[in-house]
Amino acid sequence: MTETAEAWLNRTTSFWTPNATQFDGARSHRTSIESKLDAALGIYRMFEIGSLRHGTGIWLHSDADYLVSLKGNQPSSPWTVLSNVKAALQDRFPHTTIVVRQPAVVCHFSDGIVEVVPGYITTSGYSIPDPTGGWMKTHPDEHSSWVNEVNKKHGGAAKKLARQVKIWKYKRNVPVSSCYLEMRAAKHINGESSYFPVWDLHLALEKIHDANLAAMNDPTGLGSRFTATSSETKRADAMSKLATAVSRAEKAREYEKAGDHVAAIVQLKLLFDE
């Protein structure tokens, strides 16, 4: 029996879903990181954020992301605090490659990658480095709750769709923020009354393309806008790849609608570089 396009998409999504132990190596460094930063800079708390917390990570590609709430006064330039965090961690892990990739300090451990995002407590949420420069406000607890609420309301569709657009991002090397894609995917699902995997994959990609990767308002109404890319050069590259993705997803949708699942799967394979 011929596999349906939806079954293929679900199988591919499951294949790229991390198992329960994938982040164990990266997570094992948390205590050492937390202790060093507390001793060197002073911190209030360190907690998981991003795909690790949301449950939308991609096997072999997603990192363990943490936000570190620092004590003291917030400097005018985020590069100051990023440099301080990098210096402290490099002192603790002298043989580990550690780089600054705003908004995070990225630690390339042999058993996993850890991204540490420094932040300062504000009247609500946290102030963290903006990938495009300066500072931005974020509310990770509220963002996680919002994604979980949308996901629950739509039977798991929000996280499934978010994971699919992230698979496309990583497989096609698209220079766009994973957080941005996740929020766009959840926002799309939140506006739908039902979920059809192949159709909604196309519609979500099309909406992102039609928005020209413009910054997205925080759906919780609390924080700064979510930016898609860190430069115009990266935006142009992402838009080009996005246009191709929309075309392939649309063809997959139309072939599925016509009952030609073999042709639909061919387009999905091209979309995900499988």
103 and 190 within one domain: no
Q: And the tokens for 29?
A: 């460094």
Phi first, then psi, for residue 93 (nearest 5°) are: -125, 70
What integer pLDDT is reported at residue 53 of this predicted model? Answer: 73
* 220 confidence band (pLDDT: 50, 70, 90): confident
Phi first, then psi, for residue 215 (nearest 5°) are: -55, 145
Examine the pLDDT at 20 and tell me if it is beyond 70: yes
Q: What is the mean pLDDT of residues 260-274?
A: 97
Domain boundary among 113, 138, 163: 138
Q: Which alpha helices (DSSP H) does the chain contain, by range?
A: 5-15, 24-27, 30-40, 50-54, 78-92, 140-153, 157-171, 178-190, 197-210, 232-257, 261-272
Q: What is the mean pLDDT of residues 148-163?
A: 95
Examine the pLDDT at 223 and tell me if it is beyond 80: no
Domain boundary among 138, 173, 205: 138
Residue among 115, 111, 85, 269 at smallest CA distance from 177: 115
Share of the chain above pLDDT 90, in %: 82
262 and 154 within one domain: yes
52 and 10 within one domain: no
241 and 166 within one domain: yes
What integer pLDDT is reported at residue 27 of this predicted model? Answer: 87
CA distance 169 to 171: 6
| DSSP structural state of residue 125 | S
Examine the pLDDT at 83 and tell me if it is beyond 80: yes
Q: What global pTM score does this model have?
A: 0.91
Examine the pLDDT at 136 and tell me if it is beyond 70: yes
Domain extent for 183: 5-17+142-272
What integer pLDDT is reported at residue 19 of this predicted model? Answer: 84
224 and 157 within one domain: yes
Domain boundary among 90, 107, 138: 138
125 and 170 within one domain: no
What integer pLDDT is reported at residue 132 of this predicted model? Answer: 84
148 and 130 within one domain: no
What integer pLDDT is reported at residue 51 of this predicted model? Answer: 81
240 and 168 within one domain: yes
pLDDT digits (tens, 9 = 90+) for 87-117: 999 999 999 999 999 899 999 999 989 999 9
265 and 148 within one domain: yes
Q: And the tokens for 143?
A: 């963002």
**What is the rounded average pLDDT for all residues in the chain?**
94
pLDDT digits (tens, 9 = 90+) for 159-212: 999 999 999 999 999 999 999 999 999 999 999 999 999 999 999 999 999 999
168 and 57 within one domain: no
132 and 36 within one domain: yes
Q: How many independent structural domains does the chain possess? A: 2
CA distance 250 to 198: 9
150 and 261 within one domain: yes
Q: What is the mean pLDDT of residues 35-55?
A: 91
The CATH number of the domain holding residue 78 is 3.30.460.10
